Amino acid sequence: MDYTTVERIKQEMHIQSSTSEDDDLLALLATAASRTWDRLCTGVPDAVDYFATEDMADEVIPGQIDYTGARILCYPHKPIINSVASFSYRLSIITTAYSIDASRIEIDGGRVTAYPNTGNYLTDRPYGFPSKTRVTISYNGGLSISGSGMPADMQEAVAILAARFYREAETGLADQIGVAELTTMVYTRAIPVRVANLAELYKRRVGWRHVA
């Protein structure tokens, strides 16, 4: 999913008219900038459509059992979790899996806390607490706003990245793009401070492959 549009990129670049070839390139750069934003905010190379709202089926992620054995904490691969359809856990791929009913699951932003049935977590006491567990979860999550795509500030940040990629393609491999003496805007290859600061608000604060 693209987090911005060709029209938004044109507005950022003050482009009044363009050719179909330019529009095709801007569409490709909107996708490239969206994936750059995914990786910038998650810190992993395999994050794709991290912010898109969608149903995720049987996602396998690490979980943490607390010292009492009564709670399992995990962070699925979406910034916000809207609902959980199914949840199960096991020590490893060769041990028994236990399912937890949706009524025993608590959602707080991107965090999911599950409360196993008493019999299950007592049976699992040989795990030792606190300890890691393997969670399989199906859920709906994401940050898309129905009817308007992503939040406006995120769309702007991704549009700025796409505009920068376009200018780099236009001017070659120079470290600095634009000439101040000719009153053209000067770009550098570094991520703009405004984009970097905004990314801090959207960054994932827990591990992708571990609960931390």
pLDDT band at 154 (very low <50, low <70, confident <90, very high): very high
Decide if pLDDT at 179 tops 60: no
Q: What percent of the chain has pLDDT over 70?
A: 83
Domain locations in the chain? 6-49+146-202, 54-141
Determine the residue type at 37. Answer: W
- Residue 211 has a pLDDT of 82
What is the reported pTM?
A: 0.83
pLDDT: which is higher, 170 or 75: 75
- Report the pLDDT averaged over residues 52-79: 92
pLDDT band at 122 (very low <50, low <70, confident <90, very high): very low
- Residue 3 has a pLDDT of 94
pLDDT band at 125 (very low <50, low <70, confident <90, very high): very low
- Report the pLDDT averaged over residues 58-78: 91
As a whole number, the mean pLDDT across the chain is 85
- Residue 180 has a pLDDT of 53
Strands of 54-65's sheet in order across: 98-99, 81-90, 131-141, 54-65, 72-74, 111-114, 105-108
39, containing H or E segment: helix 20-42
pLDDT: which is higher, 1 or 14: 1
- Residue 14 has a pLDDT of 82
Could you tell me which of 128, 79, 82, 131 has the C-alpha nearest to residue 105?
82
Instruction: Yes or no: say if 151 and 73 are a contact pair by the CB < 8 Å rule.
Output: no
- Residue 172 has a pLDDT of 60
Decide if pLDDT at 108 tops 50: yes
Determine the residue type at 117. Answer: N
